[in-house]
Amino acid sequence: MNSIITANAWRFFLLIIVQGLVLQNIGAGWERFPYLHIILFPIFILLLPLRTPRALVILLGFIMGLVVDSFYNSMGVHASAAVFTAFIRSYLLNWIEPRGGYNVNYSPTAARMGAGWFFKYSAILMALHLVIYFLVEAFNFENIGTTLLNILVSFIFSMICLFIYQVIFNPVD
């Protein structure tokens, strides 16, 4: 039990540091292609153990989003997307539940659930997260083309980074 809490605490802090200090600067200064935004911190929400209560998942998502917002100086945009992702997570898990059900003692990782299942799970949640993030950031539909391009490019690169994370760290908790 303590090892799961410790592993998730380390994941929380390391993802915040990577998102706030490294990934925030990727794409900055690319005036010709300003659509690249790698958002990796939602992987913390995705990889929380299945038995984690929904209220705690939402609270942790909110805290993580606020901390990332402090790095980006974005006044709640990341927090709103993270809270939405945390809220919708349990509904998605119920919707894509395998026939044998889940072992609630584990986290939904590619190593435990299979790469196909994990790709579907992470792609849906990441896409929803990015849609909410960019719609709240734009706060209008005036530049919907730019918003959709931001979502598409960010989704592709964020998913690539998410799978690199899965391969490197192979979280099995």
Checking if the pLDDT of 173 tops 60, the result is no
Higher per-residue pLDDT: 128 or 108: 128
At 114, the pLDDT band (50, 70, 90 cuts) reads confident
Per DSSP, the residues of 72-106 read HT-TTHHHHHHHHHHHHHHHHHHHT--TT---TTS
Q: What is the pLDDT of residues 143-160, one digit of tens each?
A: 888 899 999 999 999 999
CA distances from 51 to 1, 47, 105, 115 (A): 12, 11, 7, 21
Q: How confident is the model at residue 91 (pLDDT cuts 50, 70, 90)?
A: very high
| Three-class SS state of 29 | coil
Please state, as a whole number, how many other Cβ atoms lie within 10 Å of the Cβ of residue 51.
12
DSSP state, residue 141: S
Angle between helices 115-138 and 77-95 (to 10 degrees): 150
pLDDT, one tens digit per residue, over 27-82 is 655 666 677 888 999 999 999 999 899 999 999 999 999 999 999 998 899 999 99
